[in-house]
């Protein structure tokens, strides 16, 4: 008899594809908890910046000391019991997260923490786990796997609008350039690069609204497509 699949919905894809919004809306619709694994790398990056850490060993030590939980309402990652919120969303933290997530030792420690957080929750409810390597490395045994993507232009435009709405002054050109840099690093790194699992359903959101994407994912989960 084959092993039962884990009660996890894996959502992978590049930044700006609408993954975060889709994941949180889907979790809401399913009554599931949400684990944002990007936030786990961002938390390590934020602390590394605070401590001015520069070596692989130091990044790994920081990762080992992190304590992750999901908040009671199932929506937020707590780091040492705290919601680090917008502190994890700066461009500096984004680049640092992309940088430290290249290191094998850092990934090993963080992956193991992600597994225990999601496993603990998935005993009672489904868990939507959002990231880059969820369907391939963290939970290859996830019950549902999606790869949410969009064209580079659309992704950069969405990110630009988001930053503008937050009052951040940037040009679309610089957002595109930063995105290209991050994409390249995330998909060419030696360990667990951004890759679509062979058994994942690919959803191109370039021409779709969030509502349409969530609806499509729900249909797949319910086995109605």
The residue number whose beta carbon is nearest to ligand DC equals: 38
The region of 36-44, 52-60, 61-69, 75-83 touching ligand DC under the rule CB under 6 A is: 36-44
Residue 63 and residue 40: Cα distance in Å, rounded?
9
Residue whose structure tokens are 């193991």: 112
Residue 163 and residue 96: Cα distance in Å, rounded?
18
Asked whether position 186 contacts ligand DC by CB under 6 A, the answer is yes
Q: Half-sphere exposure (CA, 13 Å, Cβ side) for 151?
A: 6
Q: Between 15 and 149, name the residue whose CB sits nearer to ligand DC.
A: 15
Task: State phi, psi for 146 to the nearest 5 degrees.
Answer: -130, 145
> Would you state the structure tokens that stand for residue 170, as one six-digit string?
């940037």
Q: Which of 17, 84, 97, 127 binds ligand DC (CB under 6 A)?
A: 97
Asked whether position 178 contacts ligand DC by CB under 6 A, the answer is no
Return the exposure string of 201-212: e unless at least 16 CB atoms fall within 10 Å of the residue's CB, then b.
bebebeebeeee
Residue 90 and residue 46: Cα distance in Å, rounded?
9
Asked whether position 101 contacts ligand DC by CB under 6 A, the answer is yes
Instruction: Tell me, letter by letter, the H, E, C secondary structure of 133-144.
Output: CHHHHHCCCEEE
Q: Between 25 and 186, name the residue whose CB sits nearer to ligand DC.
A: 186
> Would you state the structure tokens that stand for residue 115, as one six-digit string?
């597994």
Q: Which of 133, 144, 159, 214 binds ligand DC (CB under 6 A)?
A: 133
Q: Which of 19, 20, 45, 15 is nearest to 180 (CA)?
A: 15
Residue whose structure tokens are 């963080």: 110
Asked whether position 132 contacts ligand DC by CB under 6 A, the answer is yes
Asked whether position 23 contacts ligand DC by CB under 6 A, the answer is no
Asked whether position 98 contacts ligand DC by CB under 6 A, the answer is yes
Asked whether position 146 contacts ligand DC by CB under 6 A, the answer is no
Asked whether position 131 contacts ligand DC by CB under 6 A, the answer is yes
The region of 56-64, 96-104, 143-151, 160-168 touching ligand DC under the rule CB under 6 A is: 96-104
Q: Between 193 and 215, name the residue whose CB sits nearer to ligand DC.
A: 193
The region of 62-70, 128-136, 141-149, 151-159 touching ligand DC under the rule CB under 6 A is: 128-136
Footprint of ligand DC (CB under 6 A): 15, 37-38, 41-42, 97-98, 101, 131-133, 182, 186
């Amino acid at each position: 008899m084959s092993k039962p699949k884990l009660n996890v919905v894996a959502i992978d894809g590049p930044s700006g594809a609408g993954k975060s919004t889709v994941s949180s809306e889907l979790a809401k619709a399913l009554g599931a908890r949400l684990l944002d694994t990007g936030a786990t790398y961002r938390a390590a990056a934020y602390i590394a910046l605070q401590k001015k850490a520069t070596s692989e060993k130091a990044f790994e030590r920081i990762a080992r000391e992190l304590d992750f939980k999901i908040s009671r309402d199932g929506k937020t990652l707590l780091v040492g019991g705290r919601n680090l919120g917008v502190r994890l969303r700066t461009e500096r933290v984004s680049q640092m997260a992309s940088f430290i997530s290249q290191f094998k030792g850092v990934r090993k420690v963080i992956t193991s923490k992600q597994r225990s957080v999601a496993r603990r929750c998935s005993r009672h409810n489904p868990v939507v786990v959002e990231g880059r390597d969820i369907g391939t490395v963290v939970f290859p045994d996830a019950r549902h796997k999606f790869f949410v993507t969009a064209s580079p232009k659309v992704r950069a435009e969405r990110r630009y609008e988001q930053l503008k709405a937050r009052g951040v002054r940037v040009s679309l050109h610089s957002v595109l350039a930063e995105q290209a840099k991050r994409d390249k690093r995330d998909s060419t790194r030696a360990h667990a690069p951004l890759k679509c699992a062979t058994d994942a359903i690919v959803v191109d959101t370039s021409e779709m609204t969030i509502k349409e994407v969530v609806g499509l994912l729900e249909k797949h989960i319910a086995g109605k497509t």
